[in-house]
Amino acid sequence: MGIRIPEWIWADIRRRWEIFYEKAENLRQWLNINPKVIVGIAIASVSVLLIVMIYMLIPPKTPEIEVYEKQWYYDLNTAKLFTAKADSGVPIKAPSGPLKDGTPAGVRAYVFSYVQEPNESERFIGFLETIDPNVTEEELAAAKTMSGAVRWGRGKLIKTVEDEHWYRGDSRAGLEIVKKLSQLNDKGQEILYCPPK
């Protein structure tokens, strides 16, 4: 048994259709009297279409990656930051001299803040980085096929300033150190890298 639509609904639909048809007919007659309006609408439509097509054909502007001439380093003897050329590598000679075992005391430091123009007290060291002397060439070659974070961490040792031990950058503990930096702080602010001046 089908649903029967009441007659008053049909009457309302017919009345609305007649009103719509009457308005459409009035608009058609008005456009017949004023053909310049149709020409204007057509020109405007074609112009908008051309603008959209030109915009779609222009290649997107590639974002500029800022290259820093200097990087932060951390003196393991004095627990202080210093700067050096960005291509210095690690470990690097530190202002305080070598470690007790004779190796350079400078390691890479990743310095961050939660404000745009931080002063010294608003900056903090996210983690430290040095090379992993035990990594093999085969491991480095295999990393090229891995995900970004694992590939980045392969061949590196990282730790926070508070940690006593270094962790492989591609280990669970190493990746966790880096992952914590992607979290918002208590005020909901995102972390920002602080390049040296």
Q: Do 148 and 79 share a structural domain?
A: yes
Predicted pLDDT at 88 = 80
- Token code pair at residue 121: 């007290």
pLDDT at position 157:
92
For residues 100 and 186, membership in a common domain is answered with yes
> What is the rounded average pLDDT of the residues 30-46?
82
Q: Residue 15: inside a domain, yes or no?
A: yes
* CA neighbor of 127 nearest in space, from 77, 168, 155: 168
Q: Is residue 124 part of a domain?
A: yes
In a domain, residue 1? The reply is: no
Query: 179-196 as b/e, with b when 16 or more CB fall inside 10 Å?
Result: eeeeeeeeeeeebeebeb
Residue 39 lies in a domain: yes
| Structural domain count of the chain | 2
- Domain encompassing residue 46: 7-57
Same domain flag for 105 and 176: yes
pTM for this prediction = 0.63
Strand segments (E) across the chain: 70-75, 80-85, 106-113, 124-131, 156-159, 167-168, 192-193
Q: List pLDDT tens digits, range 62-111.
A: 777 777 889 999 999 999 999 999 888 889 999 999 999 999 999 999 99
* Residues 44, 132 within the same domain: no
Q: Is 62 among the domain residues?
A: no
Q: How confident is the model at residue 1 (pLDDT cuts 50, 70, 90)?
A: low
Q: Find out whether 128 and 161 touch, Cβ atoms under 8 Å.
A: yes
Indicate whether 34 and 106 sit together in one domain: no
Same domain, yes or no: 46 and 137: no
Q: In this structure, are 90 and 187 located in the same domain?
A: yes
Q: Contact 155/166 with Cβ under 8 angstroms? A: no
How crowded is residue 123: how many other Cβ atoms within 10 Å of its Cβ?
A: 16
- Domain identity same for 49 and 92: no
The per-residue pLDDT for range 126-177, each reduced to its tens digit, is 999 998 888 778 877 776 777 776 777 788 899 999 999 999 888 899 889 9
Count the neighbouring beta carbons within 10 Å of the beta carbon of residue 121: 7
